[in-house]
């Protein structure tokens, strides 16, 4: 059903629920899972982000789902859309209340929905 699932990941409280949903979908569809972390210039600690990605990758692999990890820099909504296009994602799974809000007062999730080249599953 979904060949490639993109999971943008951050340090928000909702990230665990979002990751659980992505894991379930990946298991059901035997999907390729790609974890994405987007660093905003000067706002994130690369060491903390690398640790977060390692923990997420480890938990997915323990559940039997191999995943790839990508790290990019830029405005989250635009980077997520670009990466989804680049990897030919069939689905983006993301939370509604991440830790970043775009400067025009739209949430990152709302912007991704507008920009994405594929369906977006937003996990409340």
- SS3 assignment, position 5: strand
Where do the H-state alpha helices sit in 30-99? 46-62, 76-86
Band (pLDDT 50/70/90 cuts) for residue 33 is very high
Give the closest residue to 108 by CA, choosing from 116, 123, 98.
98
Indicate the number of domains in the chain: 1
pLDDT for 30 equals 93
pTM summary value: 0.88
pLDDT for 101 equals 47
Band (pLDDT 50/70/90 cuts) for residue 52 is confident
pLDDT for 44 equals 63
- The CATH number of whichever domain residue 74 belongs to comes to 3.40.50.620
Q: What is the pLDDT of residues 106-117, one digit of tens each?
A: 788 999 999 999
Domain region containing 79: 4-123
Give the closest residue to 94 by CA, choosing from 54, 38, 50.
38
């Amino acid at each position: 059903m979904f060949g490639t699932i993109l999971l943008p990941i951050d340090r928000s409280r909702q990230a665990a629920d979002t990751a659980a949903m992505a894991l379930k979908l990946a298991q059901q569809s035997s999907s390729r899972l790609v974890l994405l972390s987007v660093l905003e210039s000067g706002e994130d600690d690369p060491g903390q982000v690398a640790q977060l990605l390692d923990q997420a990758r480890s938990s997915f692999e323990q559940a039997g789902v191999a995943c790839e990890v990508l790290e990019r820099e830029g405005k989250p909504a635009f980077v997520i859309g670009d990466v989804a296009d680049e990897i030919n994602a069939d689905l983006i799974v993301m939370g509604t209340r991440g830790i970043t809000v775009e400067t025009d007062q739209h949430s990152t999730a709302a912007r991704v929905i507008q920009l994405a080249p594929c369906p977006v599953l937003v996990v409340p």
